[in-house]
Structure 1
């Protein structure tokens, strides 16, 4: 990020402006499901440590406000998928647990989230579900996602995949990740982060708007539902993104 807060990009689908990135390869045989001790420590770390820290950081540093949480009640007793725009490094790690509270939230991530030397060891305890790097790991990954749904948790997805700090639009993303709700028949929500001016701070306030639920059609095929859910979630995100009233970082396409 340059001093005048301009970022130049070539491809909105592949350029990544995260502060730190890890390896993109998940080791074969990665264990998504672990024993009783892991689950107990995961619960304690998530509820006692991570959630309060996330709430404090989000309020203090980003002035976070969440709108539309009442819509989540329509899916009470069911596991859900939430799709969000990927606009902050630390914020996007913290916002899901705050926006979805008190529902337990798991975030589908790249392999980098669990391969960092220190933070990577903690990430699985805090809800990271890394994407497999090979077909061999895909079955275990899907089984882990299904188990979280059966536990009535929230599975949080950043379909844009790469972080663009403070980007006010919604980048192009495929319908690939919408296979999960289409396959498992789960409700879908959109959670759109927008940026609003603050009087006393240069950095804008973050507001998250929740829309949905968007439901799979039982009479349609998985492929049809995947496409339909993608279209509905993306339309909601595009509409909400128009609420941003400032451009803290300007993005310019390189020619």
Structure 2
């Protein structure tokens, strides 16, 4: 994996109100081309979205993973490590497919801002962008409008860290470990078969100074066109998202 090419973003940015299906552009901070966007969680519009599975599972068009949905001023940092997967086209698919994996604060029930960092992984007509390295991703909020995002390639020892400021307002009520079907232009990219992503050493730091693993977080799976595309599970210190 070429480390610099793999950066999703080191970004603190505002989200549209009312969970609109498109986040703010990242052209000043993102490593991908202009027009690549990460959005807030988009609720699934599938007819069975509210009745499937466990009451602790939500369905979304673009997010899969685990998210705490807590009172304001709860979280100040989130971290996790994972092996960057080798993406492929879903069975019968052709062309370009992509997904991203990241950790973040807010963007779920708090819709005014998000602090996140992670990587994209893509496949274009069978050509994979990169794969295989183990990375650690961490975000730390310093205030409602500032924070630090850090990505360390644990396979090579290279670290990139960025201090960020924005007019976006964090609520500190969501801590997340997410695989996303992100947007380019005005629509979601074709979602890659990423196999599985397991966030290990998954920890959220509380404003009170304590820490918590993902146990008890709400599980989120991606549902598009009435088809569930992911399966998410957690342990006391890990979140696994699998493509189904």
> TM class, shorter-chain normalised?
0.3 to 0.5
Q: Return the TM-score normalized by structure 2.
A: 0.35
Q: Which has the higher helix share?
A: 1
Q: Which has the higher strand share?
A: 2
